[in-house]
Amino acid sequence: MKVINAGLAGALVAFAMAPAVPTYGVPEVPPASPPASGSATAAPDAAAPEDASPGDAAPDEGTAGAADGAEGAPATEGAPAGGAAGPTAEGAPGAEGTPAAGGAPAAGGAPSAGTAAPVADDLQTISLPVATGGFGRLPSLPPAPGGTPREFSDLAATIPIVYSEEYTVRPFRLAAVTWTGAAPVRAWARVHSDGEWSQWYELPGSDDHQPDPGTAEAAGARNGTDPLLVPASDGIQVRVDGAQSGARRPSDLRLDLVEPGTAPAARVEAPELTVNGGPTIYSRAQWGADESLRADPPSYGEARGAFVHHTVSANAYSSAEVPALIRSIYVYHVRSRGWNDIGYNFVIDRFGRIWEGRYGGVDRAVIGAHTQGYNDDAFAASALGTYENTAPSSVMLGAYARLFGWKFRIHGIRPLRQVNYDGEAWPAIAGHRDAAATACPGDALYARLNTIRSGTLRQMGIGGDSTSGRDVNGGGRSDIMARQRSNGSFWLWPGSTIAGFGNRLAFGTGWSSMISVALPGDWDGDGHDDVIARSATGGLWLYSGRSGQGFSAQRRIGTGWAGFTYVVAPGDWDGDGRVDLIARRRDGVLMLYPGNGRGGFGTARAIGTGWGSFTAIVGAGDWNSDGAVDLIARLPNGALLLYPGTGKGGFGKARTIGTGWAGFTGIAAAGDVNDDYVLDLVVWTSGGGMLLYPGNGSGGFLPSRSIGSGWNAFDLRS
C-alpha cells in the first residue's frame, strides 16, 4: 500500500494523467558566439560597502556647476532631418526559433456544451463510525505539506480511527471527509476507476478555509477536508486519523462523494460577463451553477486586499472539463459543508480563463468563505489545480494580474502598500499561507506571487518590475529608447504584444552630447516614467515623461557625473518605495544614489568595490522573482553574473547565469517583452541584430530568438 500526500504529489489522481564567481555548476545560456579566450577576471566584492563621503569624486546632486555651464540642454521636440534608416522591429521569430513556452498550455475558449443529456448533481454520503479498537499494521503517515497543521500541535499522538472497507458506489468525481465540531482530523483516500485502484492521497484539511466565525454562514457549517477531484470513479476506501475519545474526538464523521452532472446547454452557451475596463470573466451560467442551491441574498464587505489560493485538484484537466470541476467544488461547499455558496470569489484555470465564483457581482466586495478571519475585507482567486511542485502557467499568472489590476482599481486598493487587517499587516496580494497555517497556494504558486504583483502594477499603469520603469509613452508596456549616431536624434520603440517593439517614434533632437541614457521609472513622482541622460561634460538631465509622445519638462539634476563609467537604473534598490540610480566610478567603486521621489537625490553611499572589470552592468529589475531588484553584470570572458539585491540596499550571493556573452556589443534590460509577466533582456551584435533573451522567472533564461535588425546605427546603452 503506497501513501502519498496530495499536497506534495502535485497532479493528484490523474490516472495516466557578492563574493567571487561561484565554482559550482551553473546553467549556461546558448552563446551567440564562442566565448572569448583568456583567464577569468575576479568578480567584485558586492557585500561590504566601503566608507566614502558622498562628495568624494562624486557628482554634485542638484547644483549647476561651472563645468556644465556652457552646455545647452538637448531639445526635446522635432523630428530628425534624414539620417540612417531605423532598425526593423520584427514580429516573427528569427533563425534561433521560438522560445519554449514553459509548460503553459494553449489557451482554451469557452467550453462547449457537449452532447450528453443534462444530469443533475449527485451527492452520496457514507457514515464513518469511529473505531474503538485497532486496525493492525497500517502504513506510516506522510509529512503534511508545510509541516504539521497547528491544530495537531497540542496532541501527543493521533491514531487511526477509521479504516474503511472498499466501498462500491455510484459514479463520482469528488471525494472529501466532513465532520462536526472543532476536532482535528487527517484523512486519506484511494479510488477505483476503470477497473483499477489508485494509490493513496492525503485530503488536506484545516479550519482556516471556511466562513468567518460568528457569522450566520459559519453557524450551520460542517468542518471538512479539501476535496479530492478525480476522474469518474465507482469505488473508494478511506482512512481517518484523530482522537479516539474525549473532547477531541470528531463527531458525525462522513464520507461525501459528488458527481457534478452535466450542465444544461443553455447555461454553458451563455455569454461572458461584461465588465467595464476589466478582463474577460466567464460567468456562473457558463460553468453551470444551479442557482437554486445557494443562499440568497449574498453578503457584502470591504475589499482591501486579495488572497491567492489553489483548489488542490488534478492539473491535467482539459478545457472542457473545467466547468464540471467548478460545479463539483460548488456542490461540496454548499451541500456538504453547508456554506451559502462556493467559497472563492474567482477561479482561474491553467488556460488563463477567469471564472466567476461566489454570486453577488464580480465588481462588488462579496464576502466569501476562503480565508477565515479575512473574508469580509478581502477577496480571493483560486488557481484550479495543485501547485505544490507544479509551476503555474504564464497565462494563469497573467490572468491573476489582469483580474487583480481591475479589482484594485475599482475598489481603490493600493498595490504597493501593506493592508492592515485588524492589526495584522499583509501585502495587498498575499498567499493563503500568509494568514493561516496551511500549505495553500502551494510552494510553486507562492513563489510566483511577485510575478503576479508586478503584473498587477503594469495592469494599473504603475511603473513596476514588469516594465522596469520603461513605459515612457504610457502604453502599459516596456519601451526601448536609443540615440541615432548620424544626427543625434532620439527615438522610442514602444513595447508591442508581438514579443518585440512597434514602429519607432521621434522623441527629440540634439542628443549627440549625451553619452548614456537611463530609464529609472517615475523619478519625480508625477505618475509617469521618465528619462535621465548624462552628457559628456558631466551634466545629469531629467526628462519628465508624459503619457503619449515627448516629455513634459527637462531640467538638470546633477553635475560632475563625467567621472562615472556606468550609470544604471535598477529600480527601488534600497526598498524605500522610490527609484534609485547606481553608478560605477573609474576606480571600480559602485555608488548608490537614492532617489527622493521628487526628482532629486538622497545621500549617496558606496555599496561595492572591484566593479571596474565588468564590461556591462544592467539594472534588470527583479530578475529572480524574490521581491527585490537585482543587477546583472558581464565579465570580459563572457560570463554573465547575477547579483541579487536584498531589497535593503545590499547584495546577496552572486552566481553565474550564463557564458559566451562576450560577443554581444551591448546588453540592456527590457522589462517584460514577450508578455509572460517575467522580465527579459535584449542584446545586440556588431552586425545590428537584436536578440531577445527571455527570463524564466527564477534567475535564468528561456531560449533566445531574433527580434530585429539594423540596430548598429544606434546607441542603445541604457
**For 465-478, how does the pLDDT look when each residue is reduced to its tens digit (9 = 90+)?**
444 556 676 666 77
Q: Which residue has the cell 470513479?
A: 233
Mean pLDDT of 288-314: 91
Q: Which residue has the cell 538631465?
A: 541
Residues 127, 487: Cα–Cα separation, whole Å: 83
Residues 663, 686: Cα–Cα separation, whole Å: 8
Is pTM beyond 0.75 here?
A: no
Percent of the chain at pLDDT exceeding 70? 75
Mean pLDDT of 423-432: 88
* Higher-scoring residue by pLDDT: 292, 472: 292
Question: CA-CA-CA-CA torsion for 64, 67, 68, 69, nearest 10 degrees?
Answer: 80
Residues 193, 234: Cα–Cα separation, whole Å: 6
Tens-place pLDDT, residues 92-150: 222 232 222 233 333 344 333 333 433 567 999 999 998 876 666 665 544 443 344 43
Residues 200, 190: Cα–Cα separation, whole Å: 5
216: helix, coil or strand?
A: helix
Neighbours of 310 (CB within 10 A): 27
Contact 479, 472 (CB under 8 A): yes
Could you tell me which residues come within 8 angstroms of residue 69 by beta carbon, excluding any fewer than 6 positions away? none
390 CA to centre of own chain: 14
Contact 403, 411 (CB under 8 A): no
Residue 333, pLDDT score: 95
Strands 379-383 and 346-348: parallel
Grid cell of 666 as nine digits = 551591448
Neighbours of 154 (CB within 10 A): 8
Contact 398, 677 (CB under 8 A): yes
Task: Return the minimum-mean-pLDDT range out of 585-594, 599-608, 664-673.
Answer: 664-673
Residue 242, pLDDT score: 85
Amino acid at 672: D
Residues 504, 91: Cα–Cα separation, whole Å: 14
Q: Which of 717, 716, 718, 689 is nearest to 705 (CA)?
A: 689
Q: Is the pLDDT of residue 46 over 70?
A: no
Residue 341, pLDDT score: 96
> At 548, is the pLDDT very low, low, confident or very high (cuts 50, 70, 90)?
low
Percent of the chain at pLDDT exceeding 90? 41
Residue 311, pLDDT score: 87
Q: Is the pLDDT of residue 318 over 80?
A: yes
Residue 549, pLDDT score: 61
Residues 488, 476: Cα–Cα separation, whole Å: 27
* Higher-scoring residue by pLDDT: 328, 135: 328
Q: Which stretches does DSSP call E strand in 495-626?
A: 505-508, 514-521, 530-535, 540-545, 551-558, 564-571, 580-585, 590-594, 605-608, 616-621
Tens-place pLDDT, residues 259-276: 998 877 656 667 788 788
- Identify the H or E element spanning 273: none
Cα end-to-end span (Å), the chain: 60
Nearest-Å Rg of the Cα atoms of the chain is 29
Q: List, as one string, the DSSP characters of 333-346.
A: IIIIT--SS-S-SE
Phi, psi of 124 (to 5 degrees): -105, 140
Could you tell me which residues come within 8 angstroms of residue 358 by beta carbon, excluding any fewer than 6 positions away? 298, 341, 342, 343, 344, 345, 366, 368, 369
Residues 499, 582: Cα–Cα separation, whole Å: 28
- Identify the H or E element spanning 325: helix 322-331
Q: Which of 254, 373, 216 is nearest to 307 (CA)?
A: 373
Q: Is the pLDDT of residue 332 over 70?
A: yes
Contact 528, 536 (CB under 8 A): no
Contact 32, 664 (CB under 8 A): yes
Residues 179, 564: Cα–Cα separation, whole Å: 69
Residue 326, pLDDT score: 95
Could you tell me which residues come within 8 angstroms of residue 40 by beta carbon, excluding any fewer than 6 positions away? 21, 635, 637, 639
Residue 673, pLDDT score: 82
Residue 462, pLDDT score: 62
Tens-place pLDDT, residues 612-636: 999 999 998 888 877 788 999 999 9
Grid cell of 577 as nine digits = 518605495
As a whole number, the mean pLDDT across the chain is: 77
Tens-place pLDDT, residues 175-216: 999 998 878 888 999 999 999 999 888 887 766 778 888 888
CATH 2.120.10 fits 480-715, yes or no: yes
Residue 602, pLDDT score: 95
Contact 521, 571 (CB under 8 A): yes
Contact 620, 631 (CB under 8 A): yes
Q: How many residues does the chain have?
A: 718
| β-bridge mates for residue 45, sequence order | 609
Could you tell me which residues come within 8 angstroms of residue 25 by beta carbon, excluding any fewer than 6 positions away? none
The DSSP secondary-structure symbol of 109 reads -
Tens-place pLDDT, residues 153-176: 444 346 888 999 999 999 999 999
Residues 294, 515: Cα–Cα separation, whole Å: 65
Residue 9, pLDDT score: 29
Contact 712, 687 (CB under 8 A): yes
* Higher-scoring residue by pLDDT: 59, 684: 684
Q: Which of 633, 642, 630, 632 is nearest to 615 (CA)?
A: 633
Amino acid at 653: K
Q: Is the pLDDT of residue 592 over 90?
A: yes
Grid cell of 461 as nine digits = 499603469
* Higher-scoring residue by pLDDT: 606, 526: 606
Tens-place pLDDT, residues 355-386: 999 999 999 999 999 988 888 999 999 999 98
> At 691, is the pLDDT very low, low, confident or very high (cuts 50, 70, 90)?
very high
Residue 455, pLDDT score: 80
In the chain, residues under CATH classification 2.120.10 are: 480-715
Grid cell of 216 as nine digits = 450566520
Question: CA-CA-CA-CA torsion for 455, 212, 151, 189, nearest 10 degrees?
Answer: -80
Task: Return the minimum-mean-pLDDT range out of 60-74, 250-264, 388-402.
Answer: 60-74
Residue 715, pLDDT score: 82
Q: Is the pLDDT of residue 559 over 90?
A: yes
Question: CA-CA-CA-CA torsion for 396, 402, 405, 410, nearest 10 degrees?
Answer: -120
Residues 407, 426: Cα–Cα separation, whole Å: 18
Residues 352, 500: Cα–Cα separation, whole Å: 22
